Amino acid sequence: METLDLILSRTNLNEAYKQVYKNKGASGVDGVTVFELKSYLRENGDKLISDIKQRKYKPSPALRVTIPKDNGGVRLLGIPTVVDRVIEQAINQVLTPMFEPKFSEYSYGFRPKRNAHMAVLKSLDFMNEGFDWVVDIDLERFFDTVHHDRLMNIISMTVEDGDVISLIRKYLVSGVMVKGKYEKTELGTPQGSPLSPLLSNIMLNELDKELEKRGLNFVRYADDCNIYVGSKKAADRVMASIKTFIEKKLGLIVNMTKSKVSKPQGVKFLGFGYYVDKNKKYKLVPHQESKMKLRRKIKRLTKRNWSISLDFRLLKIRQLITGWVHYFKISDMVSFLGKIDQNIRGKIRVVIWKQWKTFGKRYESLLKLGASKENARRTSGSRKKYMYVCYLGTIQALITIKRLNKRGLVSSLDLYNRVRLV
């Protein structure tokens, strides 16, 4: 059976539809939602398959969406129509088993049964084996700069079905709609499509093969690639030669303002940083930038002028803390999380105090919590700033940790101690 027949088989297309529906996501340029997808495919599925087989099918342009980045820049996403997402997902499901055996064991991004934790822990292994000079490669706008002809040549070495090659190329050159205007895509694999992660791994597998051929230790997660060597001299040499390979052979751009040679303490990899413990072993911590990002999110969620219920606010904090702690559970962060808990509790007490608003409401609430009449009267009548009042002994003694936890506030430190892997 030809590869295209496998892609367009009912079983594979049904599986692709289920995955697209499960992922939900926004509509593309045609406005069709995932909830309308099933009825659309029932009415148009046969024609869709026929058009693809006859090479008549033309994918719609992706909808350009910009996502703000923490550094002030933006990430460009291309949102395909839901129909195109089904076809791309169907291609992905058939091509992934064909390419997986060819991929490096040191590549961890967007691959079955592999994840960021495995990548970071492997980097730690290399460092503790003595390869503690890091060549940190930053590829500039990788997803927007992939050379189509180079990529298609690599794919055609494995996929011999010309119809599939033609279909993939159509997706690469389908263009994007930016504020209602069509723009060509002569380079790149737009982030946001189901096929893009596989295509990026196919392209960067060429880098992996070169690193393996040279006998270098490395870890790659999507376009984040770190190489580990034993000396600064070797690291400088590798940086220069690998930069040449990436730019000359792969046609990609190495951003030398962000790429660097460093000891582990100066590296950020997938949100993690490194330190040396008392036994002179490298260990993991959340990187300083990751900590600052968490603090900024907490600050937004605990703003006093955000007019939402306390329960909803605590739900959003709980979701943030749960996700963050589970991601960083392979690192050391007891001291940091203790401070985070203290910070959140203080800010939530301020929110509660502000929501009580009037003297009468505050007075009644403090009495219910067990304050004496004199203490409740004095505290409720205070004209001092919210932060000052809420960090006094009275408020802390009455709005206790136990009461906050019962209301739904999660302790990041307690959660970490339950799930930690170090």
pLDDT at 40 exceeding the cut of 90? yes
CA 21 to chain centre: 20
Q: pLDDT at residue 1 above 70? A: no
Q: What was the pLDDT predicted at 353? A: 78
pLDDT in tens, 354-379: 888 888 888 888 888 888 788 788 78
Query: Is 308's pLDDT higher than 70?
Result: yes
Q: What sections of 214-358 are H helices per DSSP? A: 232-249, 288-301, 310-327, 334-356
What's the pLDDT band for 422 if we cut at 50, 70, 90?
Answer: confident
Rounded percentage of the chain residues whose pLDDT exceeds 70: 97
Range name among 93-102, 305-314, 319-328 with the lowest pLDDT average: 305-314
- The pLDDT score that the predictor gives to residue 388 is 62
How far does the chain reach from its first CA to its final CA, in angstroms? 49
- pLDDT, residue 313, reads 94
Q: Mean pLDDT, the chain, as a whole number? A: 93
Average pLDDT over residues 322-346: 97
- The answer to whether residues 287 and 271 touch, using CB atoms and an 8 Å cutoff, is yes
Cα–Cα distance between 218 and 233 in angstroms, integer?
Answer: 17
Average pLDDT over residues 256-278: 96
Nearest C-alpha neighbor of 235 from the set 127, 142, 128, 141: 127
pTM exceeds cut of 0.75: yes
Alpha carbon distance 34, 16 (integer Å) = 12
pLDDT digits (tens, 9 = 90+) for 191-213: 889 999 999 999 999 999 999 99
Percent of the chain with pLDDT over 90: 77
Q: In this predicted structure, what is the pLDDT of residue 391?
A: 67
* Sign of the Cα pseudo-torsion (52, 58, 64, 65, in order): negative
- The predicted model gives 84-107 an average pLDDT of 98
Whole-number pLDDT of residue 63? 94
Given pLDDT bands bounded at 50, 70 and 90, which one contains residue 408?
Answer: very high
Cβ contact 178:78 at 8 Å? no
Please check the confidence at residue 38 and state whether its pLDDT lies above 80: yes
Q: What is the arithmetic mean of pLDDT over 121-129?
A: 98
pLDDT at 392: 67
Average pLDDT over residues 133-140: 96
64 three-class SS: strand
Average pLDDT in the 105-109 region? 97
Amino acid (1-letter code) at residue 52: I
For the segment(s) 104-147+187-274, the CATH number from 3.40.50.620, 3.40.50.11890, 3.30.365.10, 3.30.70.270 is: 3.30.70.270
Residue 394: pLDDT band with limits 50, 70, 90:
confident
pLDDT at 72: 67
SS3 track for 100-145: HHHCCCCECCCCCCCCHHHHHHHHHHHHHCCCCEEEEEEECCHHHH
Given a cut of 80, whether residue 70 has pLDDT beyond it is no
CB distance 382 to 288 below 8 Å: no
Q: Where exactly are the structural domains of the chain?
A: 1-102+153-179, 104-147+187-274, 286-421
